[in-house]
Amino acid sequence: MFTRKTLLKTTSCLLLLACILLGSFPQINHAEEDLLDFAEKSGFPVKEPYRPKASIVIDADSGQILWEDQPDLSWSPASIAKVMTMYLAFEAMEQEKFNLDTTVTATEQYVAISQIYALSNNKISLGVDYPVRDLFSMVAVPSSNVATLMLANLVSDNDEADFIRKMNDKAAELGMSNTTYFNCSGAQISAFDGLYQAPGIDPNGENKSTARDLAILTYNLIKKYPDILQFTSKPVVKTMPDTPYEETFETYNYSLPGAKYGYDGVDGLKTGSSPTGAFNYIATAKKGDVRLIEVILGVGDWSDQAGEYERHLAGNAILDHAFSTYEYKKLLSKGPNTIDQKEIILEQDFYGFIKKNTEPSFTLKDGQLALKSDYGQVSPEIPVQTVSYQESEPKAVDNESVKKNTRQPSTTKNADHNYLVSSILAVFGILLLVFSRVFRKRVAGVRRGSRKTSTTTTRLLFTVGVLLILSAISVWIFL
C-alpha cells in the first residue's frame, strides 16, 4: 500500500519526467538586451554587418556602466588616439606651460606633412603662426594629423618620442590597463614619410586600446577639462577666421544636432577610422542633468565606406537605449532608512542611476552605503558613489505585541493554494490530451490507407498530458 511519502516521491518523479520530455523541444533564447532589437525600436536601425565589435556607455559623473558589449576587446582606435594628445595638451595648459592663444609657427616639416595625401590633414602655410585654439579645432574636427603633431611637439618641446612615453604613462595613471600608444595621431609613424621621428619607438607599431579604456580616458577628460567640448560640439567650424588662412570644416561626427544623424544632446567627441580599426566613435551627450559617454569600436569594414555613417546609427541607438532604460533620481532620503532589515540613518539624500520601474538594492560597508549596479564601475580607479550612514539604536521589543501581530499560518489559504495548483495541472494535462487527439486525426487524414496514425509528437503530447493529470490528482488528494 502506498504511503503519503511514497506518493509524493512518485509525483515528484512524474513532474521531473514531464520537465525532461518538455525540455526535448528546441528552446529559443532571447537575450535581455540586443542591439539590433532596440535599435529598430529607437528609430536608428542597425544592420548585422554594422554591429560594433565593442561598445560601452557610462555615466559621465559617476563612471557607472549602463551598457557594455565586449568592452575589453583589444582594438585599433585609429584617430581616436588624438583624444589622448588633446588630454595632454589641456594638462600642459593647466600647468601653465602655454595657453589657447599661444602660437606654433609652421615649419617646412609641418608644411610637408600637411601635403601627404594618405593622411587626413588641413592646409598649413610656411611661417604662419597657428594659435593653440585653432590647432584644437583642426585636431577635433577634420582630424588633422599635422595639427596633432604640432600640438604634441608643443607639449614635449619637440621631443616626439618623449611625448609618446607621456601618452603611455598617462594611460597607466588613469587605469587604462589595456592601452598602448606608438604614435600621437592614430596614423603609424611610418606613414609620415620620414617626417615624424621618434627614436626608440617602433615606427610600424599600431596603437591598441579597448572600449573600456577609451571610456575611462573620456571620463577623465570631460571631468578635468570640460572646455574640450567647445571644440567638438559644432557641426561646422572655421579655423584661422578673418585671415588669409581661414578654412571651413564639416564634422565627421554625424550625430551632432544639425548633422546627418543628429541626436539631441550630443556635443562631442571624436571619430576615427583605419583599414585595421574600421570605423570607431566616441560620443558624449547631455539631457537635463545627465551626461553619458559612449565608445563604439569596429563598425563595418574599411572596404565599405558606409561604415562612416552606420557607426552613428549604432551610436545613437545605444545612447537612446541608455537614456530611455535608466533614470537618475533620488533613491533614499536623508535620515532614517531600513536597508536589508537594518535600521540606518543617512547623513544626506542619496541619488543614483537605476533601470526604470525597478527597485534599487544597496550595500552597507564600513559606514558607507552604495548602490548595487548591473555592470559596476568602468574602472576600479573610479570609486562607487557612496553616502555615509550610522546604525540606529535597536528599539525595545514588546513580546506581547509581537505575539498579537504575528500572523499564524492559514490552513484554509494553503488548501486553496493546493486546489489552484492541482486545477492548473489538470487543465494543462487535458489540453495536451486534446492536442494529441487533434494531431492524430490530422495525421490520419494525410496517411489514408495506413494504420499508423500516431507520431512522436502526438505520443509525447499524450504522455505529458497523462503525467500532468496524475500529478494534479496527487496534489489535490495528499498535499
Q: Please state the residue numbers annotated as binding site for substrate.
A: 270
What does the alpha-carbon distance between residue 43 and residue 165 come to, in Å, rounded to a whole number?
43
Residue 137 is a catalytic residue: no
Residue with cell 509525483: 11
Q: 76, 79, 120, 474: which one is catalytic?
A: 79
CB burial string 181-191: b at 16+ within 10 A, e below: bbbbbbbbbeb
Q: 143, 144, 156, 185: which one is catalytic?
A: 143
Asked if the peptide bond before residue 420 counts as cis, ω within 30 degrees of 0, the response is no
3-state secondary structure of 294: strand
Can you count the helices (H) and strands (E) in the chain?
12, 16
E strands of 213-253, at which residues? Answer: 236-239, 247-250
Q: What angle is formed at CA 228 by the lines to CA 226 and CA 233, rounded to 5 degrees?
A: 105
What does the alpha-carbon distance between residue 312 and residue 256 come to, in Å, rounded to a whole number?
10
Q: 82, 166, 170, 234: which one is catalytic?
A: 82
What does the alpha-carbon distance between residue 108 and residue 380 come to, in Å, rounded to a whole number?
45
The conformation of residue 33, written as its DSSP 8-state character, comes to -
Instruction: Output the known binding site.
Output: 270
Of the candidates 215, 205, 214, 212, which has an alpha carbon nearest to the alpha carbon of residue 184? 205
Residue with cell 557607472: 64
Residues 418/476, Cβ–Cβ less than 8 Å:
yes
Q: What is the 3-state secondary structure (H, E, C) of 343-361?
A: EEEECCCEEEEEECCCCCC
Residue 273 is a catalytic residue: no
Burial classification of residue 128, based on how many CB atoms lie within 10 Å of its CB (0-12 exposed, 13-18 middle, 19 or more buried): middle
What does the alpha-carbon distance between residue 120 and residue 174 come to, in Å, rounded to a whole number?
28
Phi and psi angles of residue 303, each rounded to the nearest 5 degrees, phi first:
-70, -15
Of the candidates 470, 460, 469, which has an alpha carbon nearest to the alpha carbon of residue 430? 469
What does the alpha-carbon distance between residue 118 and residue 128 come to, in Å, rounded to a whole number?
23
Residue 143 is a catalytic residue: yes
Q: What angle is formed at CA 113 by the lines to CA 256 and CA 268, rounded to 5 degrees?
A: 15
Which residues does the annotation mark as catalytic?
79, 82, 143
